[in-house]
Structure 1
Amino acid sequence: MIQPPGFELSTNAQSIYKLHNALYGLKQAPRAWYSTFSCFLLSQGFKNSKCDSSGFIKKTGSIFLALLVYVDDILVTGNAAHHIQDLVTQMHQAFSMKELRSISYFLGISVATSSSTTVLSQKKYAQDILTKAGMLDCKACSSPISAKPGLPPNSNLPFDNPSVYRSIVGALQYLTITRPDLSFAVNQLCQHMHNSTVGHYVGVKRLLRFIKGTISPGLTYTPSSFDLHAYSDSNWAGDAIDRKSTTSYCVFLGSNLISWSSKKQATVSRSSTEAKYRSLAHTAAELAWIGMLLQDFCIVPPTVPLLYCDNVSAIALASNPVFPSKSKHIEVDCHFVRDQVLANA
C-alpha cells in the first residue's frame, strides 16, 4: 500500500492510514455494506434466498415479507402492511435511510401501477442513451437489425472510438431488462466489444433508431395463473463467421413474460437437432431456477412446467434414454433436460 496522490506526507512517506469503516466509492464498500445489512436482516428473522443472494424472505405463520437489496437501493413488499412498516421503522433506527413509499422508480426502471396492471418501462433510460450517442433527434426505423445490411465501403475498418462503442452497447444491455425485443440485436453487437468496426457501429446506430421509434413500450403485468411454461429456439449455424448457433428462450408465468435470453452457444453444433437440444438444456436450467425462486415466495405452480420446442428430433432426444450414434458427442451437462423430463419436474 502507498499513500494516495494528493495526500503524501513528505515527512513520513512510509505512513499509511488504516480504515476503520468502509468508505462509499471504494471497491470493497458494497461488500461491506451488504455484510452489515444482511446481518441486520438475519437478526430480524429474515432468511437469505438460496436462489438469489440479493433476496431475503421472512415467513411467520400467514405473514410473508420479501426484501430485495441492490447496493443501497432496497425494495420491500409483503402481505401485511403493519409488519412492513415495523421493519421500515427498525431500519430507520439502525441506518440512515430515505423512505420513498410506494414504488414508482427503481434502478432506472419506471413502475406504473393501477388496479389491474403493472407496467415496467425504461423510457427515461432509453432517452439518456440516445442523448449520449447524439441521436435524440434521429429518424426512426421499423426493425432493430437488418437481415442484409447495406454497409458502407469502409465497414471493415476499425472504429476510431471503441470506448464509445463499448459504452453505448453496455448501456443497451441494461435496456433489455424491459425490452426483450432488443435482446437478439444487443447480443449481436456485444460480440464485437473487443474489435468493433465501422460496420458494427452502423448496426448500433440502426438499433438506436429503432429505439427512437419505440421508446415508450415496456412490460405489462396483469393478474394471471401461476402456470410456468417456456419457449426455446435456436438458429443453427447462424453466425456467418464461426458458424455457432444462438440460443434463445422466453419464460412465462401464466400470461406474463418473466425471463428471456438470447446468447451465442459456446461450441459449434453439428446439426440443427444438437443446436435445439442445447437450447432446451439452457431453458430447462432457467425453468428449474425459477421454480426454486417461486418456492422461496411460497408459490407452487399448479402444473408441471411446460417446455416448448419446434424440433421433433430434439424432443425425442430429451425423452429417449438411449444414446443415438449422432448424439454421443454431446456433453453430459446438456442431458440435464433429459433428467428433468424423466423426473417430471
Structure 2
Amino acid sequence: MKNFNNKEYKCLVTDLIGDAFYTETSFRGKISTIRQYAEVIVRKLLDIEPSKHLTLGQENIRSKIKNLPNHEYIEAAIAIIRTKGNLSTHTQYLDNLSLEDFEDIVDNLFNMLSFPLINYFEKYEFGSRDDVLLSFSLLPPIIRYKVLNFLYQKNPCNLSVIDKLVLAIVKAFSVFEATKWIEERKDTLIKMKTISEKAFNAMLETVGIEIAMDIQKGLPSSMYHLCKEKISQIGLSIDIKGHLYSDFESALPYYKANGILNNDNLETKEFNDIMDFLYLGRKEKLQKISIDRNPYIVMNFIS
C-alpha cells in the first residue's frame, strides 16, 4: 500500500483497542471507540493517507467501498457499526447500550477484520501454500471461521477450505455445530475425495506412483469421513487440554513466534501486511479476570 502504513497507526490503534476491550468503560464508550477503529480499517482497505478526512458515512467513501471485491460483505458490517456507533455518540439517544449491543458490534468488527483475508484468498488460492496456512491457523477461530465460511460459499469444492472450516467451527463454536455442518452436506462430501487431482499429481512428481498410491489408500475414503475423524480428534483434544487460544490476545504469542513469513515476494508481503494489521494494538493475555461470558470486557495484560 502506498498511503496506509501500519506502523503510523500503531499508537492510535493501541489506544482504541485498549479502550474498547481492555478497560472497564461503559458499553456506550466501547461501541463509540469501535466505530473509530472501523474508520481505521476502512482507511486500510481503501489505502487512504492519514491527513485525509474520513467518516463511515461519507458519500465518496461509500462509493469507493462499492468498488471493492465482495463489497456487500463489508458494507453490511459497516452499516451496523455506523448505526450503533452513532447511537453511542449522539446525546439525543438516552437509553442504555447493552452487552448484546456490544457483542453485535464486535461480531461485525470481526467481519470487517476478516474482509482483507477474504479478498487475499480469492486472489491467491486458499491451500496453495503451507506456510500461509500455518500462519492463518494462528488467528482466533472466529476470524478463521468467518473467512473460510465466505470462501466456502463462493467455492464449495476447495478441499482445503472444507478441511479448515470444519476445524474452525469446532474451535469457534462446538463439536455439535461442526457435526451438524457436515451432516447437512453429507451427500456432497461423501462424493469428494480427500486429495485433489492437482495435489495428487504434485505428489506423484515428488515421491513416485507407488508411494503416492499407498498414501492415497491410507487416507479416509471421502471428505465426509475425513471431517468426521478430525472433528472427533480436535473435540477430544479440547476436552482434555482446553483451547490453546481463542482470541487475538491469547493467539498473539504464537503468531509472533511462528506466524510471520520469511519471503520477499509480493504474495508474502501482502499476507504479512494483513496479519500485522490484524494484530496491531493487541496485547498478550496474562490472566483473564472477567467472569462475564464475553471475553472482551476486562482483562489483565502484559505487553
Interval containing the TM-score (normalised by the shorter chain): under 0.3
Q: Point out the structure with the larger strand share.
A: 1
TM normalised by structure 2 equals 0.28
Q: Point out the structure with the larger helix share.
A: 2
TM normalised by structure 1 equals 0.25
Larger Rg: 1
